[in-house]
Amino acid sequence: MLDIQKIRAEFPILSQKVNGKPLVYFDNGATSQKPQIVIDAEVKYYQEINANIHRGVHTLSQLATDAYEISRGKVQQHINAKFAHEVLFTSGTTHGINLVTNGFASILKPGDEVIVSSLEHHSNIVPWQMLCEKTGATLKVIPMNEDGELIMEAFDALLSEKTKVVTVNHISNALGIINPIKYIIDKAHAVGAAVLIDGAQAVPHLKPNVQELDCDFYAFSGHKMCGPTGTGILYGKEAWLNKLPPYQGGGEMIKEVTFEKTTYADLPHKFEAGTPNIAGGIVLGTAIDYLNSVGFENIQQYENELLEYATKRLLEIEGLKIYGTGKNKASVVSFNIDGIHPYDIGSIIDKLGIAVRTGHHCAQPIMNFFCIPGTIRASFSFYNTKEEIDTMVEAVKKAKTMLS
Amino acid sequence: MTIKEIQNEIIDEFSMFDDWMQRYEYIIELGKSLPLINEEYKTDENLIKGCQSKVWLHGEQKDDKIVFTADSDAILTKGIIAILIRAFSNQNAEDIINADTEFIDEIGLKEHLSATRANGLVSMIKNIKMYALAFNAKNNN
């Protein structure tokens, strides 16, 4: 059992007032709040060991390098990667995905096929579209059903020897649906395709095991899992990372440079040109330690309670419809009220101190599927409470009265 | 009335409200009373693509004035457009171009000017001014 009040006390922002009301932060899908231990680690880095890494022989540079590489090791352990050099630091999920699509530009040929899903965030659609435009490959889309679940029979039918890459999110950001990624990975591998999993929405809720999943790439962001903004990880299987060309040229990623020829550094440095977000990378390790100390089993169990409670309470409101009614879900509720624009509800409940996301959640194809301009999305974290859900439900009721 | 006089009148009206809820209820009322844009003008061309809600804005010249009509799929947005139309419609181009928009701040709608919602209110004002600039250029030719 989690001691929620103790946990809440570790997040200074949660005791704030917004518009004169106690903050109810339900926009965790966009970014999570940070515990004091993470904030302190960021300060401590700059106060005590700030130096550029992997270069200097001086003590501070070595301390900073060690801290950065220890953090990489923590991530490796956390996601159960085989090697630390399969863990690349990035600026976030989007960066990780673009690193991969950029690499595939020299691999794909006209007639090849890339499969994405209809549940993707724009950042796992657009880079693949750009890749297809560049290479002449074709983009195929796994459709979904009315519950927001991907249709696996349709996916099976899309697969062929033309399929070179399959990419799908672990958990949908707009609806919270958990996708059957193990099935997708195995099926894709059976036709020889590589698989990238967008784990941005999964890592706050669960601990991905990349070896067990057997995915080729797994991209996620640090800021959604209590870490700093501008941090992220791209896991890639060693063989794939060796095969892909570097993403950016610069310092750090080279072995030897002459004007005739440059040889690239070994993994992971080949993909880490320039001075990275050193503080962020180190502190991401702190965030992962923190989450593990709370415990993912505890987190999941508690967040499921919140999800069930919120679903039940929201459905008490007449005319309220939840999108993403599939069984396998993370703690996200996406909803609308009949005849009312989500923006109107969002604006009013913001005045009541409640932070939710309204709009298309960068997933316009999903909104088009349901023929709606957007939804109101409440996404819960382990530091949220049932009382906060009650406050939101009352606020939504009030907004509904004002707007009807 | 000049744009400034109308804006002051709007500020006076809003000063009667004690809290945000009354202000929002008034904006919702204004939104409901906004005369709708002629369907033929609800085109993609007249659409101000905002992040959150759709806004259609149409302007046409009547004598030396510009008349604006608009619509939105969100009621709060509609109310805000109703306020803008009241301030800027039926004015001449020169006055619209030179008008400031500080009254938005004074009636407590500053948050609608923030970057995330900017596409709404800021773009509406920008589009109103663009119409005025275009008509002005046309008339001076």
Q: Give chain A's residues under pLDDT 70.
A: none
Of B73, B75, B77, the CB nearest to A403: B75
Is B54's CB within 8 Å of A373's CB? yes
Instruction: Sketch out chain A's domains with CATH numbers.
Output: 4-30+296-403 (3.90.1150.10), 39-292 (3.40.640.10)
**Structural domains counted in chain B:** 1
Tens-digit pLDDT profile for residues B99-116: 998 898 888 887 766 666
- The torsion of the CA quartet B64, B70, B76, B82, rounded to 10 degrees, works out to 30
Query: What is the Cα–Cα distance from A102 to A86, expressed in whole angstroms?
Result: 18
pLDDT digits (tens, 9 = 90+) for B2-15: 999 999 999 999 99
Contact flag A374-B52 (C-beta cutoff 8 Å): yes
pLDDT tens sequence across A23-60: 999 999 999 999 999 999 999 999 999 999 988 889 99
Check: CB of residue A363 under 8 Å from CB of residue A138.
no
pTM for the model stands at: 0.93
Question: Complex ipTM, two decimals?
Answer: 0.87
Residues of B near A (Cβ–Cβ under 8 Å) read 20-21, 24-25, 28, 51-54, 73-77
Contact state of A359 with B52 under an 8 Å Cβ cutoff: yes
Out of A19, A343, A373, name the one closest to residue B76 (CB): A343
Specify the DSSP class assigned to residue A178: B
Give A245's DSSP letter: P
CATH of the domain at B135: 3.90.1010.10
Say if CB A179 and CB A202 are below 8 A apart. no
Selection from A208, A150, A211, A148 nearest residue A184 by Cα: A150
Instruction: Give the pLDDT score at B115.
Output: 60
- Per-residue pLDDT at A56: 80
From CA A367, how far away is CA A171, in angstroms rounded? Answer: 17
Tokens of A204: 């706050």
Interface residues on A facing B, Cβ-Cβ cutoff 8 A? 19, 340-344, 346-348, 351, 358-359, 373-374, 402-403
Quote the domain boundaries for residue B71: 3-140
Contact predicate A173/A201, CB 8 Å: yes
Q: How confident is the model at residue B92 (pLDDT cuts 50, 70, 90)?
A: very high
